[in-house]
Structure 1
Amino acid sequence: MNQEVTILILTHKSKKLVLDYIKELYKKFKIIIIDNSNDLDLKSIIINSYPGVEIYLIPNNGYSNQINFGSKLVKTEYFLISNPDIRGMNESNVLNFVKAAKELKNKFSALGPRFLNVNPKSHKQSEDNKSISPMKFISGACMFFNKKNFDSLNGFDENIFLYFEENDFCIRSYKVNKNYQLNNIKIEHDIGTSVEVKNEEDKINQANFRTWHFIWSKFYYYKKHYGFFLAIIYFLPIIIRINFRIVLYKYKNDKINLTKYINRRSGLYSSILNKQSSKRI
């Protein structure tokens, strides 16, 4: 078993995806699963069928909290954090992260792979013909760290429950050591599939939950790094659009979109008023 890197899998109601992820890797690398959905069935399967894999069930205090909790358990020089909805992570890709880290002489904050199935308009990546390129931001779905460098940056901001936590980490870390994308590591990310939903009601609840936290975290991020005044100026058109759509969907009696934008407004106003990211399902 490799003694240089630990794989942290961060999961919430993703039992099947987790089991698919680890089946080819658990004999080759130290794997720690951090679950914040109290999945006792997953825990039982791991304990009985995957010797050596560690699993911890923790309260759901957000993605940043999961990462920081898991990082404290890491004893190796490097660790990889990954969502369970990543496809294509194999032994070769993990070792390529380690190889690049050593070639950089550990002078990096985070390394990330090339994603094959993302929208180029919303997910900026480096030029494909460059093997390694500095990037200001690395996707939080899959990030590779040197443990010492990660600890020196005090990990992730646990005020952020969901969304923009990797942006916050990267903008802070880039001032110390650059972040890099490795184009010889190619994976796919099935965005939005990490949480297993049972019915249409669950799907709608998840969507509204994500809508609330996305806008809360976005304002918090802008306020933290650019100041409250500039954040308000940036978000003023968004506030106007949200309230216009609420009036419109009330008039049209469109309950689904009305609920969506009420949640959006609630999340934004909570962040503006400096309230915690408190919405839960």
Structure 2
Amino acid sequence: MRVAVVILNWNGKALLEEFLPTVTQYSTEAEIYVADNASNDDSVSFVKSYFPEVKIIENKKNRGYAKGYNEALKHINTDIFCLLNSDVQVTKNWLAPVLELLKTYSNTAIIQPKILDYNRKQYFEYAGAAGGFIDKYGYPYCRGRIFDTIEEDHGQFNDTTEIFWASGACLFIRKKVFEELNGFDESFFAHMEEIDLCWRAKNKGYSIKYTGKSEVYHLGGATLKKANPKKTYLNFRNSLFTLCKNADGIVFGRVLVRLILDGIAGIKFLLELKPKHTLVILKAHFSFYKNLNKILLKRQSEKRSVKYYQRTSIVFDYFVNKKRYYDSL
């Protein structure tokens, strides 16, 4: 089973200097690629000079995470893609448990390892933690991270289990499944496109797993900081895209509730003196309305399932019932 580790890069020479050495050291059974998204720093020349064993794919423009990977992966012919952020430190033997699962379970299409915080290595990392889930209104959360509450790793998620979505920070996917799904939805640009991809895979009957036997450490926010309003915009907009495209049944009631909850979030940002975030939530809603016809056309072309998301509200559980940890849900 051939695997390619593919790192999407945009002006990330400093990150490649710090994190690429562990990837090359601990991934000897894989082909390693840097897919460069039209960087204007010297990332490409740096890799060519110091990591000649790493193959380089040069995209002509920076089209974000979704289209960047879609374009790059067309040039790679392996059984498994590992999509790895440029700010991830891998560990010894990180590939073996994942590849063993893919060999053992033919219907498992996507796998995520345990993702820990690079700066606080005893804690889970925000983007993925120990595997993702979603509630009935399209809010994502993780084992080990619900909203801004991040758990310490005590071995509570050292298992191998079914999850709903895998983090794009480190996501393994079978090449044939990625192609069957037509890759990422490029209208997302960045953020939550992996949740959309996983939901579409679930709707086609594929299994998605997490394994705590493989660990990586994610710096997080290296390309777009959490406090950046653009990140807020993409997360709110793309969450609406994902919910409307993929949820089963009559989805408009759930979308309406989600819009109301987003409005409450906007008020919260105002009270926190973050008016730019409130404005980008409004911008995200207008973008959703503008693209609604396209989203509905995509919805019509996809099969939907009824089984996989949490049927209660994670917002209600977290903010009203004060359930801060996954095991309390």
1:84-163 maps to which residues of 2 (within 5 A)?
Answer: 84-87=86-89, 89-90=90-91, 92-104=93-105, 106-116=106-116, 117-118=124-125, 122-124=141-143, 128-130=157-159, 132-163=160-191
Alpha-carbon separation, structure 2, partners of 1:8 and 1:161: 18
Question: Any gaps of 5 or more consecutive residues in structure 2?
Answer: 117-123, 130-139, 145-154, 295-329
Corresponding residue for residue 77 of structure 1: 79
Task: Note the aligned Cα RMSD (angstroms).
Answer: 2.8
> 1:233 and 1:95, CA in 2 relative to 1: closer, same or farther beyond 3 A?
same
Q: CA deviation at 1:133?
A: 1.0
SS at match of 2:186: coil
Shift of 1:158: 1.1
| Aligned pairs for 1:56-75 within 5 A | 56-58=57-59, 59-75=61-77
Q: Determine the C-alpha separation between the residues in 1 that align with 2:199 and 2:66.
A: 15
Q: Please give the alpha-carbon distance, in whole angstroms, between the structure 1 residues aligned to 2:23 and 2:263.
A: 46
Q: Does 1:263 align with 2:309?
A: no
Residue 200 of structure 2 aligns with an amino acid whose one-letter code is: R
Match of 2:256 among 227, 232, 239: 232
| 1:208 aligned residue | 229
Query: What letter is aligned with 1:153?
Result: L
Identity %: 22
Counterparts of 1:186-201 in structure 2, within 5 Å, are 186-194=215-223
- The CA deviation at 1:179 is 0.4
Deviation of 1:14 after TM superposition, in Å, equals 2.0
Structure 1 residue runs without a partner (length 5+): 196-202, 277-281
Decide whether the 8 Å contact of 1:137 with 1:170 is kept in 2: yes
Distance 1:20 1:38, change over 3 A: same
CA contact (8 A) 2:13 2:46 kept: no
Other-structure match for 1:220: 241
Quick check: 161-170 or 64-73, which moved more?
64-73
Q: Structure 1 residues 192 and 244 mapped into 2: Cα distance closer, same or farther (>3 Å)? A: closer
Q: Once the 2 structures are TM-superposed, how far is the Cα of residue 230 of structure 1 from its aligned partner?
A: 3.0
Query: For residues 141 and 38 of structure 1, what CA distance do their matches in structure 2 show?
Result: 19
CA positional deviation for 1:82: 0.6
Q: In structure 2, what residue type is equivalent to 1:179? A: I
Q: Could you tell me how far apart the structure 2 residues matched to 1:240 and 1:157 are?
A: 28
Compute the TM-score of the two structures, normalised by the length of structure 2. 0.69
